[in-house]
Amino acid sequence: MFINCKGQLINLTKPCVMGIINTTPDSFYTLSRTQIVDDALARASQMLNEGATFIDIGGQSTRPGAEPVGEDEELQRVIPIIEAIAKEFPNCFISIDTNRAAVAKAAVGVGASLVNDISGGDDDLQMIETVSKLKVPFIVMHKKGNPQTMKEQAHYNDVALEVFDYLATKLVQLKAQGICDIIIDPGFGFAKTIEHNFELMHKLEVLKQLEAAVLIGISRKSMIWKTLETTPENALHGTTTLNTLALLQGANILRVHDVKPAMDCIAMMGKYVGVD
């Protein structure tokens, strides 16, 4: 399984890691936040040295209840950091985490090479056309509503089936618009209760039928720290456990705050299944 990124074919048959850098003051995990370029460069350097394939940079918190920021503010947060990381680490694959087409376009213009949209193009109707023109891989995630309303929309007859159907429909739509390099994300924590999240994890293997790379983003999320009755800061071991379960069911990319533990998880899983 390959995606074409910056003219290079990335083999996702062996799972890889996407490190998270949030240029926000309010993302749920305090240690993921930075708005200082030098700090972001140091974090990117550490993540790449630890084995990250991708660095995901976002300028809006999408935690439940988070307030949106304006487009100009989002651009001011992400563009200098993306530009600096792209200059310092020209071989790095940078993902822009945004639901705005204008932000995606600007980010790719200064060095980003993937677009990660939690709305899969639903929040900004220009997004899909923009990604198609940019010819970059697109990460499409399942969610309902927005950070202000998604708690109230966490209702499903069968959460795994609804996520599957949504992503299957998106794949058809995106391919029809000329987007071929697509990564799917089931959207843990987005309009889903803790019970929904664990049901989705239990049935994650069904997404392999879509024949697309699967990204899992459960790092330090509330499904972990609330279950363990702790905090995001103390949710690393729970994260590693769920990442292991996701890998067993075919996950291709682990989106995480902590790269080294995720890389160790992949290495141990590789040994277990006999893949070097």
3-state helix, strand, coil in the chain (%, to 5): 45, 15, 40
Question: Of 64, 72, 81, which is closest to residue 100 (Cα–Cα)?
Answer: 72
Count CB neighbours of 118 within 10 A: 23
Query: With left for phi above 0 and alpha for psi between -120 and 50, is residue 15 left, alpha or beta?
Result: beta
Catalytic residue among 77, 170, 220, 255: 255
Question: Of 194, 198, 264, 199, which is closest to residue 226 (Cα–Cα)?
Answer: 194
The residues with which 211 forms a beta bridge, in sequence order, are: none
Catalytic residue among 221, 226, 260, 271: 221
Count CB neighbours of 37 within 10 A: 15
Number of C-alpha atoms within 13 angstroms, CB side, residue 112?
28
Query: Tell me, what DSSP letter sits at residue 206?
Result: G
Q: Is 255 a catalytic residue?
A: yes
Q: Is 100 a catalytic residue?
A: no
Q: Is 8 helix (H, G, I), strand (E, B) or coil?
A: strand
Q: Catalytic residue numbers? A: 221, 255
